[in-house]
Amino acid sequence: MERREFIKKSAAASALSLGMGQLCSCSAPKDKLRILVLGGTYFVGPSIVNAALRHKHSVTLFNRGITNPNLFSTLQLIKGDREAGIAAYDPLKKEQWDVVIDVWPEKSRLVDEATKALKNHTKHYIFVSSIAVYDNFEQIGLNEEYDLVSIELEKNEWGYPEEKLVAESLVRERFADNHTILRGGPIKGWRDPALDLLYWFIKLGRDDAIIAPGSGIDHLQFIDVKDIGRFAIMASENRLSGSYNCTGPKKEPLFWKEFLELSKEHLNSQTQLIWASEDFLTINEVAPFTELPLWTPLSEDAFMQISNNKLLQTGFEFTPLHQTIDDCVKWFKRTMDSDIKFGNSTINIGMERSKELRLLNLLERQS
């Protein structure tokens, strides 16, 4: 699966998050902020709301009141449907906000209408974007100044990257000196229904031998949804302006061998990791990202080596990896069939077990 298509599906598939995270390194300000969250009850939105509430800010939600309507029942809700056009924002114009936080995943038109309607009603605008806006992922350590995708295509040909980029441009245009753009990588954690990161924890929980991808020194990046929420509030409190790559899960690079061994230890798994080289996987037609979720071989691109230096320079600290693992596993046990099967017409992510067993036998004969 292409990288941008993965990010799009990951963003679209994600659902509620109520996870708790550690507080950001900065202390909460004395002044309570009035924060308007556009949405707030899906996946990223709740992590933002929870972070704001932990810092004692005043939060108002703007949504249709349909998705998880009981999630934040004690908060002020102003009902409105963004799909209905710019008039939907009229009820918001009666108030002034310190910060508006927009997690809209697609359709730059809706961001156009929101920024236009709220331009004179907020001091700061925060938009959750994506690393999909970058032109390509060939450069190691790609930073916020790197080339972005072209929008020379006809508007009806725009995809997820173009829509996100145009939305970013509108935010920058209308809030030139008072905006923050969070370019998230794969966002994972509590209530994440996407089975990419979770695939590995499920497999490790079964104590069966599994194929581990590549040499073990391929890179892996993702960020806990709680960290997106905490950084959005940190940016609100400190009026951080500009674009920030938001990817982790830690300051230092994370490699597959470290990730799988740490996960195995934390889950008390007896699973045997059988490492398969990139050449072996290519010859046997094993697809990166789909059959081996989130794995990008070093030879392919640097998608998993995005620079997060600018984020780290703010003093931000990531949620410990073991907490993300726990959140993913707890949500899986709460909502999904423990005997879930991968690589089929229903769940097309992950490797079908009979194929994996065949390849494991091949690897054993070659050793």
Query: CA-CA distance, 227 to 254, in Å (whole number)?
Result: 17
Average pLDDT over residues 64-73: 92
Are 330 and 324 contacting, i.e. CB atoms less than 8 angstroms apart?
no
Q: What is the pLDDT of residues 226-284, one digit of tens each?
A: 999 999 999 999 999 999 999 999 999 999 999 999 999 999 999 999 999 999 999 99
Query: CA-CA distance, 35 to 49, in Å (whole number)?
Result: 9
Cα angle value 181/182/184 (rounded, 5°): 145
What count of residues does the chain have?
367
Q: What is the pLDDT of residue 6?
A: 53
**pTM for the model:** 0.91
Are 111 and 170 contacting, i.e. CB atoms less than 8 angstroms apart?
yes
Query: CA-CA distance, 353 to 362, in Å (whole number)?
Result: 14
Q: Is the pLDDT of residue 30 over 90?
A: no
Q: What is the pLDDT of residue 256?
A: 98
CA 290 → CA 3, 34, 188, distances in Å? 11, 42, 16
Cα angle value 125/126/129 (rounded, 5°): 135
Average pLDDT over residues 290-316: 95
Q: What is the pLDDT of residues 159-169, one digit of tens each?
A: 999 999 999 99
Q: What is the pLDDT of residue 8?
A: 53
Q: Which residue has the higher pLDDT, 4 or 33?
A: 33
Q: What is the pLDDT of residues 171-195, one digit of tens each?
A: 999 999 999 999 999 999 987 879 9
